[in-house]
Amino acid sequence: MATVSDIGLSAAINVSMAVAFLLVFAFLRLQPINDRVYFPKWYLRGMRDSPVSSGAAVQKVVNLNMRSYLKFLSWMPAALKMPEDELINHAGLDSAVYLRIYLTGIKIFVPISILASLVLFPVNWTNDTLDSMKVVHSKIDKLSISNIPYGSNRFVTHLVMAYAVTFWTCYVLFREYEIITTMRLRFLASEKRRPDQFTVLVRNIPPDPDESISELVEHFFLVNHPDHYLRHQVVYNANKLADLVEKKKKLQNWLDYYQLKYERNPSKRPTTKEADERQKIMKDPQSAVPAAFVSFRSRWGAAVCAQTQQTSNPTVWITEWAPEPRDVYWNNLSIPFVSLTVRRLIVAVAFFFLNFFYVIPIAFVQSLASLEGIEKALPFLKPLIKIDVIKSFIQGFLPGIALKVFLILLPTILMFMSKFEGLISQSSLERRSASKYYIFLFFNVFLGSIVTGSALDQLKAYIHQSANEIPRTIGVAIPMRATFFITYVMVDGWTGVAGEILRLRALIIFHLKNFFLVKTEKDREEAMDPGSICFDWCEPRIQLYFLLGLVYAVVTPLLLPFILVFFGLAYVVYRHQIINVYNQQYESGAQFWPSVHGRIIIALIVSQLLLIGLLSTKGFEETTPVLLVLPVLTFWFYKYCKNRFEPAFVRNPLQEAMRKDTLERAREPTFDLKAYLANAYLHPVFKGREEEDNMSISEDVGMEEVIVPTKRQSRRNTPAQSKYEGSDTLSLPETVHER
């Protein structure tokens, strides 16, 4: 059980580390040699020149301008200065909406923190309940609901506070959902032409013994979408070829540097294997999987196809919006559609057991990160841990850092499980992994830490009490677990965010690569490319703070200021990172926001249910009907927002699609859309051929460019021999023209 001195020592350590990280960053970012580490986004866009390339030898490494050091904190106002509209143009809507998650936390918890400090602190503090009970506690716990006497009328204050928290949170969420929906619609309306606006992904194409996949796709869409079908791109199983291309890419980088060496020994270049594998893919009908990217002449045509059922059998010719070309996860497109259900069942079972068995090591780590656990495991350290400083360090700092270290590998495991499920876009992979990670944090970090921590802290009280008194003791002990979460927020939220801007790991790796591996400018770009924000683990971590803040807002409001510091610091840091560092690899148009909204609603309902259970152990059962109204209203609010706003995130309104199509036809009547979409959904391994491997895309991959005669026994509902070369006139049966 952490005391005031333990929390103070932990705060001192974490604040010192956070300030140290920020100061070191402020120094390192000014050095020319580190410019590519702290401003890679501008280099990748060709908007920044390296300061290392000019000047004296020393000035290429160290910044000798003393005046620049006087403005070492200038990055903070610079990060906040960029307007949101400019930020969207610079970094994309996904990045801007991601920042609004932190802004939402600030909007929710600032008024709640002020109200709780003015109302709940005096109500909780002016009691002596904990002093009269045989439970382990500290002075901090006297600020919690645990210090209210059993059956006291003071619980009415907490009941009113619960209503205030619920209504304010719902109001903020409604406003944010409304704003972000407007931002998304405006973004989609004003955005320039993108291939995914005209393209749908068709999966589970039924086999036909008389036609290839490409012929079947062309004939199906010429018949069923005759006025809007434009072209298609069959999906090939090119995973093996992708491995060869990656191998060649690595050797090619060495070739650029050691040209003479490889000319003497050209057998080390895998170009022959690569060409053979490519020819094998193109000639083998089995390499074509029953899926295709089908493009249309207009957004309206694509929207109709993506949002409707194509045949009377809903299990075949399944259409959905195609991901943005950069967002496609090509490895999973070769997975048979019929196996996806089995794969998801396997992952669901594996994830359940991962959750179930992960509780054991987490409880073990939590027990070792306590005084009692260390005394039992390492009895010879007992004299050492009696020292006040060591004791405060163990109770105030060690549990949080132990838990954080224990969770390091988890995001990688969860991403692997999501990939095994067969999701076909990077954004959907990250959203699914984020969902799994949040469930894991909820059960293992939140509930697991409360249950195991309370049991460990109050073990002696449990032993000497009757069974009837144990629920009451648990009701007292759970609010007092806030001290553990305070230490965790400081370690993960304060120090962790400060460490994010320092980018120590990226700094070391870049300089090692730059010194030993970088041989070309392309190598240097790859070495400094930071990639996208890791949404799959960053967003669930934010949701944990929403959960902690909403659960403890009424129970132990002392936690709120620590959470507010996290949201404020993280907002500034990640705004800087998004502007200068992260290079978003895809744009989903903020499709993740409904999930974010839903998880905050879950946190709000959990806080209400826990408060109901807690008050029932405090002799205030008569308030249960009054409190049960809150989860009902909250769920109704969630359903209202889902029906009101979520369709804008999963569908494309036909009215908007038609409006944009009309405007583009008026502005660019001669635009060649077919050429624009020609290679948009071509597998990356078929792009970027060297001259020696140069091969016409239309010959190798673009099966849709060939005149396709039908091979079916019956021509019913099938076009005549196709002469469709992308012109506006289709070669269809007379019955189709007459209709």
What is the DSSP annotation of 226-267?
A: TTTEEEEEEEE--HHHHHHHHHHHHHHHHHHHSHHHHHH-GG
CA 549 to chain centre: 21
Residues 145 and 173 in one domain: yes
Give residue 656's pLDDT: 85
Question: Is 732 within the bounds of a domain?
Answer: no
Q: Is 566 within a domain?
A: yes
* pLDDT reported for residue 373: 56
Separation of alpha carbons 563 and 571, rounded Å = 12
C-alpha distances (whole Å) from 278 to each of 241, 291, 504, 547 are 7, 19, 41, 51
Domain-terminating residue out of 594, 622, 651 = 651
What DSSP element (H or E) covers 319? strand 318-321
Domain count along the chain: 2
Query: Within this chain, do residues 356 and 498 fall inside the same structural domain, yes or no?
Result: yes
Q: Is residue 327 part of a domain?
A: no
pLDDT of residue 579: 93
Same domain for 119 and 169, yes or no, is yes
Give the pLDDT confidence score for residue 476 in this predicted structure.
56
In sequence order, the β-bridge partners of residue 203 are 291, 318
Same domain, 73 and 161: yes
- Same domain, yes or no: 314 and 362: no
Q: How many CB atoms lie within 10 A of CB 732?
A: 17
- The answer to whether residues 211 and 182 belong to one domain is no
Q: Which of helix, strand or coil describes residue 602?
A: helix
This prediction's pTM: 0.84
Give the whole-angstrom CA distance, residue 469 versus residue 447.
21
**CB burial of residue 373 (10 Å; 0-12, 13-18, 19+):** middle
498 and 580, same domain (yes or no): yes
CA dihedral 233, 236, 239, 245 (to 10 degrees): -60
Cα gap 574→188, rounded to integer Å: 24
Maximum C-alpha span of the chain? 96
Query: Cα(332)–Cα(683) distance, rounded to whole angstroms?
Result: 12
The reported pLDDT for the residue numbered 400 is 65
Whose CA is closest to 583, among 51, 10, 39? Answer: 39
DSSP summary character for residue 672: -
Residue 698: inside a domain: no
- The pLDDT score that the predictor gives to residue 725 is 38
Within 13 Å and on the Cβ side, how many CA atoms surround 284? 12
Residue 14 resides in a domain: yes
Task: Compute CA 365 distance to the chain's CA centroid, rounded to the nearest angstrom.
Answer: 27
Q: Which of 588, 623, 651 represents a domain boundary (last residue)?
A: 651
Residue 706 lies in a domain: no
On whether residue 488 sits in a domain, the answer given is yes
Residues of the chain with pLDDT under 50: 260-262, 264, 270, 459, 462-463, 690-708, 713-739
**Residue 188: closest CA among 196, 200, 199:** 196
**Domain range spanning residue 291?**
205-218+230-322+666-693
Residue 197 placed within a domain: no
Same domain, 466 and 543: yes
372 and 504 fall within a common domain: yes
> Do 253 and 352 reside in the same domain of the chain?
no
Rg over CA atoms, the chain? 30
The DSSP symbol for 446 reads I
Identify the H or E element spanning 294. Answer: strand 288-296
Q: Are residues 299 and 383 in the same domain?
A: no
pLDDT at 177: 96
366 CB-near residues (< 8 Å, 6+ apart): 373, 399, 402, 403, 449, 452, 453, 456
Same domain, residue pair 599 and 682: no
